[in-house]
Amino acid sequence: MGFIRLDKEAARLELAKLVEQYDSQRAALEAPGSTYPEAQARLDYIDKMLRILGWDVNNDEGVPHSLRDVVVEQTLSEEGSAGRPDYRLRVNGRDRLPWEAKKPSVRLSNSRESAHQTRTYGFTLQLPAAVLTNFSELVIFDTKNEPDESQATDYAVIPRCHFAYTDYVSRFDDLWERLSYESVASEAFYSVYDYAEPLRGTSAFDQSFLKHFRHWRQQLAQAISLEDPALAAAEVGRRTQRLLNAMLFLRVCEDRNIKKYEDLRKSSEAGELSNEFKRADEIFNAGLFRALDSVRIDADVLGSVVRDLYWPRSKFAFGLLEPDTLAALYEQSLAERVEIDEERAVTLVPKPELAHAGGVVPTPADVVDKLLDLALGQHLVVGQPVPADLTVADPASGSGVFLVAALERLIRHEEAATGPLDLVGRGRLAREHIFGVDIDGEAVEVARLSLLLVVLGEDLVDIATAQAVLPSLDHNLQVGNALVGYDFDQIVPDAAAEPEVWAAVAPFDWALAFPETQAAGGFTCLIGNPPYIRIQVLAAHMPQQLEYFQDARSGYVSAQSHNFDVYMLFLERSLRLIKPEGSLAFVVKHGFTSSAAGGRLRGVLGKKLRKLVHFGVEQLFPGRLTYTCFVVASGTDETSDLTVSLVSNAAAYLNGDSEAASEVSLVRADLGEAVWPIAGAEQATMFTTMEAAAIARLGDENWVDIFVGVQTSADPLFLLRVAADDPASNHVEILDDEGELWSIERGMLRPAIRDVALMPYGDQPDGDYVAIFPYEVEQPHPGQKRGKATPFDLQTMQHRFPKALEYLRAKEGRLRARAATLDEAFWAYGRNQSLWKMDGPKIVNRTMSVAGKAQYVPDRRDHVVPGGGSGPYTLLRPTPQCPISMEVVIALLSHPAVDAYVAARARAFQGGYVVHSKATLQGVPVPALSSEAVDELERNTRQLQEFERRLREENDSVLRGSLVQRREILALKNRSIITEAYGLTDGQVQTTVG
């Protein structure tokens, strides 16, 4: 029988029984010196509690290990080691909530080490919370921020989330909401913890790990450089990378209890690191631990880096470092290269070709997963093992993000068909089916490490008897230039004769590197995100490669254009590397479908294209304006018409929402060198035109200050309704959120906008609330950019605002429950960075607005307006140096093309709502406007606002109709002026945005 989840009420009753059982034995279990162990507490109480809350602890459903609800740690972490949590609660194979268990005799309120250990788990896993329990108590920690050894045991405990076992039944609703499978597996899980899942590479953990890793890399590279002055910078970088990989792998093994905790540190301190690596090489094979064979390095520097891998210098649970996370983080780190000056001083500098492109942008996990669906789908049959001849390759593998995901996919598929795989079985899948090439040797080293961590999995390895337990992946992952063959010598002979040029170009022969695959007719699947490098960058940084590509003998027809991109060449090359029955799935720019430069590629690809997923203006890569598509192609010519998916909501599409894309069919005969007739490309062209016309971006310095509103962290307590207001009185009667009447000093209150409907080209909104504003505000002094807001001290509150203080003291418990509160001034807001900006004219915008219905209105009455990163309002104010007025800014942002531009960069929600925040507004291109155009925009906008104000109160139907008609005419005039300034046409705007 499978696992049966209890409904909420049945679970409440079962937990009551378990609590009663515990209560009857509590004294003995909790007594100091009790011999009742943690392992037994887990079996008797914690396992049962989890099952009651809906978690299949024992995997009664019999799902593959990688997909089970609960990953249970079978061994105890050694003292001092972060190890891994006793339970990892998962949904669809993804960690959601770590639980750490202790025996009942451990007093959680006194165990600082337990608290830090638990928080470290959640932080490393990049999750919002982690649970610590001995059943007698249960504590839920906020784990979004990095743990620190100075923090107390109760630091970061989520308010009202410290439960005694006697609370479990009386507060069962709270437990259920935060910990039950029903809640954790739902889409509302993150909202329960007030958490937005960070994009890959942007979490607090990511940033902290990258900072530490960069420091380690710098230290080791400097030491290696000084010990061996003959080494070039590139070789120093490679040796540094190998050494770091070996040490990280050993730390992972220690925290997974495969090796004894602190073996690495002790061997380093004893000068025995070389012997430790030799022992590891005998156990694991894999080539990771030959890193010291050719490296000379100062022992003190090496020891310092090793010590940095342990608490308290490092706050990471290395045993929880997932291979895909590590690969994605390395991807960002490797955007820098080692550089050595004449004094042998090492610096890490951005790689020129990447710096020109704005750096590395990690491929989001959902993009990787979707491409794997498209590439592998037809080659894997449910219930059957992975085909013996299936091969998966990434021709620009980088640090291995796609290959790690592919191997994990193959492991899950094999386990579903044949049962759990051991380390040998996982190693076989890696060795026989996963391949990659990259020009960056350091990246290839990282890809090997990441794949070996996947192979290692959750297995416990007996290092006393183990020998060569990991496969060598040296053949599978190779260093080389996937686009340049050995014919480089014939095509560019002068350059090829120079060893330095040859090394930099790194020619690569696929047939020689993978003879067995070539003999089989090619690879089954090619997947990836090839680099986007324009011809201009090639000319500046890779001229020899450009010469090779543009020579007809290289075979690249795309390169015969005068404006090609390297991703086009990867598509061409990859089509020649797959079997006739094989599949290719890449994410690339969609410009090739309509640009003149893409004509030759269209002629080649159109014959083999099986599916095209066109994202139009939807953005896939965080922080980067890139118009992309998924290209899915076959190794043989297709004859049927092509299905094109036009995606209107990228996030929804990637999450499997069938409504997020519409499908159109293109006749195969139309897929030649001529522009392909795909709707949506027009909008991308329009945006390109707007950007070309820009003289600035809206958020540039000296243009428009875009800022959030006040953030009280307790709006219901600070933003209040007025019950009665006698202008002659010094007090105002207000109603709190519980309906109780209070009298508050007028000087403590400011008019506020909390939930006011805004209109396109609307006039001054009326405040619907008042704000308790316990601050002294100073505007910036001349020459300063920032003002200051200081909360009133207690003496001021007592003497000037006793009534307000009385109210606030009545709410003190709720106010102090906020995450950030001053010790004495508990009445302060959660944050204070925008308080001084409430004074003075400003533009108010509803952050969550429907695309196409711009709502920017002036506020000239110094209203207090709430708003954080997600709203409810975003505020704007032209700086004193800004050459355009508030009215012109409103007219610009109200233009439909500008609103579409903002929407294309914003997160979208159901109902057509998109986020109009600083992040999405600051990049708006500002066109040049003549003085006459500025004057007319100002006049028209003021009239539009005046007419909107009159429409609020006008009852005469004829006059209302006249006002509405006049507003439409004025809005069209503004639209026409800005359309012309951008160099657009009315027809273009009408076609693309309506």
pLDDT in tens, 94-129: 899 999 999 999 999 888 889 998 999 999 998 999
Of 189-203, 416-430, 679-693, 960-974, the range with the lowest mean pLDDT is: 679-693
Provide the phi-psi class of 866: left if phi over 0, else alpha when psi is between -120 and 50, else beta: beta
Residue 950 tokens, joined:
């009159």
Of 262-271, 815-824, 975-984, the range with the lowest mean pLDDT is: 815-824
State what percent of residues in the chain have pLDDT above 70: 93
Say what the pLDDT of residue 682 is.
65
Distance (Å, rounded) from C-alpha 509 to C-alpha 499?
A: 18
User: Is residue 21 over pLDDT 70?
Assistant: yes
- Mean pLDDT calculated for residue range 246-257: 81
* Among 17-31, 106-120, 463-477, the range of highest mean pLDDT: 17-31
Interval 789-828: pLDDT, tens? 899 999 999 999 999 999 999 999 898 888 554 567 899 9
Q: List the one residue out of 577, 567, 588 whose CA is nearest residue 435.
A: 577
Neighbouring residues of 543: CB distance < 8 A, sequence distance ≥ 6: none
Q: In this predicted model, which residue has the larger pLDDT, 775 or 905? A: 775
- Mean pLDDT calculated for residue range 415-420: 89
- The residue behind tokens 């515990």 is 22
Q: List the one residue out of 584, 538, 587 whose CA is nearest residue 565.
A: 538
If you ran DSSP here, which 8-state letter would residue 674 be given? S
Radius of gyration, CA atoms only, the chain: 31
Burial of 969: CB neighbours in 10 Å, binned 0-12, 13-18, 19+: exposed
User: Is residue 77 over pLDDT 60?
Assistant: no
Question: What band does 853 get if pLDDT is binned at 50, 70 and 90?
Answer: confident
Query: Around Cβ 302, how many Cβ atoms within 10 Å?
Result: 21
**Backbone torsions φ then ψ of 645, nearest 5 degrees:** -95, 120
State what percent of residues in the chain have pLDDT above 90: 49
Distance (Å, rounded) from C-alpha 698 to C-alpha 883?
A: 11
Average pLDDT in the chain: 87
Q: List the one residue out of 402, 486, 466, 410 whose CA is nearest residue 437.
A: 402
Calculated CA dihedral for residues 857, 861, 866, 871, nearest 10 degrees: 10
Greatest pairwise CA separation for the chain in angstroms: 94
Residues 79-118 as b/e (b if ≥16 CB within 10 A, e otherwise) read eebbbbbbbbbbeeeebbbbbbbbbbbbebeebeebbbbb
Of 68-82, 619-633, 708-722, the range with the lowest mean pLDDT is: 68-82
**Cα 176 versus chain centre, distance:** 28
- The residue behind tokens 């009790």 is 34
Question: What band does 54 get if pLDDT is binned at 50, 70 and 90?
Answer: very high
If you ran DSSP here, which 8-state letter would residue 676 be given? P
Say what the pLDDT of residue 323 is.
78
If you ran DSSP here, which 8-state letter would residue 592 be given? G
HSE, side-chain direction, 13 A CA sphere, residue 29: 21
- Mean pLDDT calculated for residue range 584-592: 91
Q: List the one residue out of 776, 710, 695 whose CA is nearest residue 981.
A: 695
- Mean pLDDT calculated for residue range 387-397: 96
**Cα 547 versus chain centre, distance:** 38
CA angle, 434 then 440 then 442, to 5°: 85
Distance (Å, rounded) from C-alpha 460 to C-alpha 478?
A: 29
Tell me if 595 sits within 8 A of 601, measured CB to CB: no
Question: What band does 429 get if pLDDT is binned at 50, 70 and 90?
Answer: very high
pTM for this model (two decimals): 0.65
Tell me if 630 sits within 8 A of 586, measured CB to CB: yes
**Backbone torsions φ then ψ of 703, nearest 5 degrees:** -115, -100
Tell me if 826 sits within 8 A of 808, measured CB to CB: yes
Of 134-138, 210-214, 331-335, 647-651, the range with the lowest mean pLDDT is: 331-335
Residue 129 tokens, joined:
């919370």
Say what the pLDDT of residue 80 is.
47
First CA to last CA across the chain, in angstroms?
57
Interval 917-942: pLDDT, tens? 887 898 899 999 999 999 999 999 99
Say what the pLDDT of residue 910 is.
45
- Mean pLDDT calculated for residue range 67-88: 74
E strand or H helix at 23, and its extent? helix 8-30
Residue 251 tokens, joined:
């730390």
Distance (Å, rounded) from C-alpha 398 to C-alpha 34?
A: 53
Say what the pLDDT of residue 322 is.
78
- Mean pLDDT calculated for residue range 822-844: 86
Q: List the one residue out of 190, 529, 183 whose CA is nearest residue 362.
A: 529
Tell me if 54 sits within 8 A of 180, measured CB to CB: yes
Neighbouring residues of 86: CB distance < 8 A, sequence distance ≥ 6: 42, 46, 72, 73, 99, 100, 101
- Mean pLDDT calculated for residue range 20-36: 93
Interval 268-310: pLDDT, tens? 888 888 888 888 777 776 567 777 777 888 888 888 998 988 8
- The residue behind tokens 């990228």 is 650
User: Is residue 207 over pLDDT 70?
Assistant: yes
What are the residues facing 44 on neighbouring strands? none
The bridge status of strand 609-619 relative to strand 523-528 is unpaired
Distance (Å, rounded) from C-alpha 507 to C-alpha 821?
A: 60
Question: DSSP letters along 218-256, please?
Answer: HHHHHHHHHH-TT--HHHHHHHHHHHHHHHHHHHHHHHT
User: Is residue 777 over pLDDT 50?
Assistant: yes
- Mean pLDDT calculated for residue range 19-42: 93
Q: Which amino acid is at 51?
A: R
